[in-house]
Amino acid sequence: MNTTSITISTDFDLKAKTKKLAKEKGLSVSGMINSLLKLVVDDTSIIEKIPERPTPYLLKSIENARQQKKEGRVSPRFTNSKDAIKWLNRNR
């Protein structure tokens, strides 16, 4: 079998839990991931069932954006560059 490597970044705790689970099941982490990849290839609907969880950084960024909007620090839409420049220079 021809093999190749995949390098991923993951949360430290998730990696530790995965290693523990793999050991309990008598598998390696690579074996578990290969099994998951085979399932996804065989049944692509699995991808639609995997919940996406925002990272803490994304959640903080969203909260910052909401706060900036609430404070009126968010740019409105412009129909011309003259109005956009005027808006940018309003507090100079």
Judge whether residue 32 has pLDDT over 90: yes
Judge whether residue 78 has pLDDT over 90: yes
Three-state DSSP state, 74:
coil
Judge whether residue 1 has pLDDT over 80: no
Place of tokens 């049944």: 43
Place of tokens 């609430």: 70
Contacts of 65 by beta carbon, 8 Å cutoff, 6+ apart: 74
pLDDT of amino acid 37:
92
At 16, is the pLDDT very low, low, confident or very high (cuts 50, 70, 90)?
Answer: very high
pTM of the predicted protein model: 0.50
